[in-house]
């Protein structure tokens, strides 16, 4: 290679790690973060610069610019990855933002379980080893009328567990109108295949009749599966078969089987209920989802649902139903891999306890409280936020309050619009909303997630807490340059 290859020269112009560490931006970082992390960030910035030079970039970047880059990488590495955000989207059960927030008693229970030793698998009455499955079972039975219950990692796990225990190697009949996909990777046909169950689809996308199930039942049918169409609705000419009808169909088929062979196996009716409400929030009126107890009372042997959707608790999957069947689930080796940890169990138990007094549940469980808050209260909050925003925005943006429709989210009640209000920020510059949004999400100390509509940045007040309004206003002030956001930011330890 010739001595004066400009590429070589440009590469050689890049500073060394040691030279970089002497620059003021990084010298001060060394006081705030472990040396290895600072050096790592410098190496990463240098490697990126080298790659850019090799890719044809004209000049090697200046050392100061590289130091800023390294510092930004360091700040990003040192701050917690899983951290709080302000949800100004109006979507109450926002899967990307952590679904349900826990009620205070649940938060306290998590804290205690995390900090101290606990009765996780210890029975103080028996003074002997206990079961982690015992903590929520009685409560779940009391709240749903079930004989028995078990909670596992999430509802996807619950579905998997039920299918593998009762339908692996056998046929499970499900309506083609209920072959849901939830959140991209959970699809009923795939889960059935994974569990070893043989899926028998019946009916069509819009109509399934009782006779479809009757015809589909074979000597090998182990289950009639009903899946709640959580995140979509088929409207128009539709017909679905209720769980109560499925119960009758299953019973008749088993009776016919046993007339021939008294030892013939039964057929389980199982509903994957999805959201799993335990009460009907009055605010939802006739639009409320059927509760888990109601689904069971329709004649299902088993019903499963999520812990962090309408129930408003931690991520969990709950199966309720007949004692003998739940006992088989508890004995399934897969349960060991799907079990809940003590913090989740603590949160779930404390959340369920609130439901013993439905009024308390409605008031104290954030998901239910947010759903139920009157539109006028939400509007007042939006107006207060608009006032704060107008103060910080000055000439940079115009502020108004607009009527909005919140949605429940989390694949729940897709057709339900909950009247809401948002503070709306309009900008003079065409890309003002985008630039402001980018700052609020990427740079704000607590990211604020709103939404852009027709060039306006909207902050839906239904999912905002009163004490979050100043956070939103501060972040907007920074974004608009009113306070000159600190370049590079602080390194949090």
Ligand X SMILES: *Cc1c(COP(=O)(O)O)cnc(C)c1O
Instruction: Tell me, residue by residue from 409 to 438, as one string, x for binding to ligand X by CB under 6 A and - for no binding.
Output: --x---------------------------
- Our finding on whether 186 is near ligand X (CB under 6 A) is yes
Instruction: Tell me, residue by residue from 117 to 136, as one string, x for binding to ligand X by CB under 6 A and - for no binding.
Output: --------------------
- The site for ligand X, by CB under 6 A, has a size of 16
Euclidean distance between CA atoms 259 and 275, whole angstroms: 39
Contact assessment for residue 73 and residue 30, using Cβ atoms and an 8 Å cutoff = no
The torsion angle over the Cα atoms of residues 33, 38, 44 and 50, rounded to 10 degrees, is: 150
Nearer to ligand X, 311 or 436 (CB): 311
- Our finding on whether 228 is near ligand X (CB under 6 A) is yes
Nearer to ligand X, 394 or 414 (CB): 414
Nearer to ligand X, 155 or 421 (CB): 155
- Our finding on whether 180 is near ligand X (CB under 6 A) is yes
Nearer to ligand X, 228 or 462 (CB): 228
Window of 151-159, 249-257, 288-296, 413-421 that interacts with ligand X by CB under 6 A? 151-159
Nearer to ligand X, 156 or 162 (CB): 156
Query: Which member of 20, 103, 149, 156 binds ligand X (CB under 6 A)?
Result: 156
Cβ neighbors of 487 (< 8 A, separation 6 or more) are 68
- Our finding on whether 317 is near ligand X (CB under 6 A) is yes
Nearer to ligand X, 230 or 456 (CB): 230
Nearer to ligand X, 338 or 350 (CB): 338
Window of 211-219, 223-231, 324-332, 425-433 that interacts with ligand X by CB under 6 A? 223-231
- Our finding on whether 154 is near ligand X (CB under 6 A) is yes
256-285: which residues touch ligand X (CB under 6 A)?
Answer: 272, 274-275
Give every strand in the sheet of 451-453, ordered side by side.
Answer: 91-93, 397-409, 418-427, 456-460, 451-453
- Our finding on whether 440 is near ligand X (CB under 6 A) is no
**Cβ 24 to ligand X, closest distance in Å?**
49
Window of 44-52, 112-120, 167-175, 179-187 that interacts with ligand X by CB under 6 A? 179-187
Nearer to ligand X, 4 or 185 (CB): 185
- Our finding on whether 469 is near ligand X (CB under 6 A) is no
Nearer to ligand X, 77 or 186 (CB): 186
Query: Which member of 146, 227, 449, 458 binds ligand X (CB under 6 A)?
Result: 227
- Our finding on whether 155 is near ligand X (CB under 6 A) is yes
Query: Which member of 87, 195, 221, 306 binds ligand X (CB under 6 A)?
Result: 306
- Our finding on whether 334 is near ligand X (CB under 6 A) is no
Binding site for ligand X (CB under 6 A): 154-156, 159, 180, 182, 186, 227-228, 230, 272, 274-275, 306, 317, 411
């Amino acid at each position: 290679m010739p001595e004066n290859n400009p590429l070589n020269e440009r590469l050689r112009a890049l500073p060394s790690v040691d030279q970089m560490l002497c620059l003021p931006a990084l010298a001060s970082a060394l006081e705030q973060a472990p040396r290895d992390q600072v050096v790592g960030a410098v190496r990463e910035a240098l490697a990126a610069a080298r790659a850019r030079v090799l890719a044809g970039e004209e000049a090697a970047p200046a050392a100061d610019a590289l130091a800023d880059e390294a510092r930004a990488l360091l700040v990003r590495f040192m701050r917690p990855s899983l951290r709080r955000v302000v949800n100004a989207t109006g979507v109450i059960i926002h899967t990307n933002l952590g679904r349900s927030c826990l009620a205070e008693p649940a938060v306290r229970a998590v804290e205690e379980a995390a900090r101290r030793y606990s009765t996780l698998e210890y029975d103080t009455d028996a003074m002997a080893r206990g079961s982690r499955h015992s903590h929520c079972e009685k409560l779940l039975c009391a709240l749903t009328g079930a004989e028995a219950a078990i909670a596992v990692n999430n509802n996807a796990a619950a579905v998997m567990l039920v299918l593998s225990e009762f339908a692996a190697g056998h046929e499970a009949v499900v309506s083609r109108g209920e072959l849901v996909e939830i959140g991209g990777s959970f699809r009923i046909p795939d889960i059935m295949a994974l569990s070893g169950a043989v899926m028998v689809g019946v009916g069509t996308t819009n109509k399934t009749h009782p006779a479809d199930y009757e015809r589909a039942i074979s000597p090998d049918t182990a289950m009639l599966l009903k899946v709640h169409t959580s995140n979509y609705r088929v409207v128009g000419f539709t017909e679905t078969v209720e769980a109560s009808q499925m119960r009758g169909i299953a019973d008749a088929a088993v009776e016919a089987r046993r007339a021939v062979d008294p030892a013939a196996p039964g057929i389980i009716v199982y509903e994957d209920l999805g959201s799993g409400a335990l009460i009907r929030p009055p605010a939802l009126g006739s639009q409320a989802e059927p509760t888990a107890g109601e689904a069971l009372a329709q004649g299902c042997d088993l019903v499963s649902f999520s812990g962090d959707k309408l129930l408003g608790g931690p991520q969990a999957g709950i199966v309720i139903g007949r004692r003998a069947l739940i006992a088989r689930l508890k004995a399934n080796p897969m349960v060991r891999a799907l079990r809940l940890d003590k913090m989740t169990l603590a949160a779930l138990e404390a959340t369920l306890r609130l439901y013993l007094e439905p009024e308390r549940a409605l008031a104290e469980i954030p998901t239910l409280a947010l759903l139920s808050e009157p539109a006028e209260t939400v509007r007042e909050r939006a107006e207060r936020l608009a006032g704060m925003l107008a103060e910080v925005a000055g000439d940079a943006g115009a502020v108004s309050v607009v009527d909005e429709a919140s949605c429940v989210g989390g694949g729940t009640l897709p057709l339900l619009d909950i009247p809401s209000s948002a503070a709306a920020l309009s900008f003079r510059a065409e890309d003002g909303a985008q630039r402001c949004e980018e700052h609020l999400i990427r740079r704000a100390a607590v990211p604020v997630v709103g939404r852009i509509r027709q060039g306006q940045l909207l902050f839906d007040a239904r999912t905002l807490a009163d004490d979050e309004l100043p956070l939103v206003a501060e972040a907007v002030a920074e974004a608009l340059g009113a306070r000159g956001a600190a370049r590079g930011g602080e390194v949090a330890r």
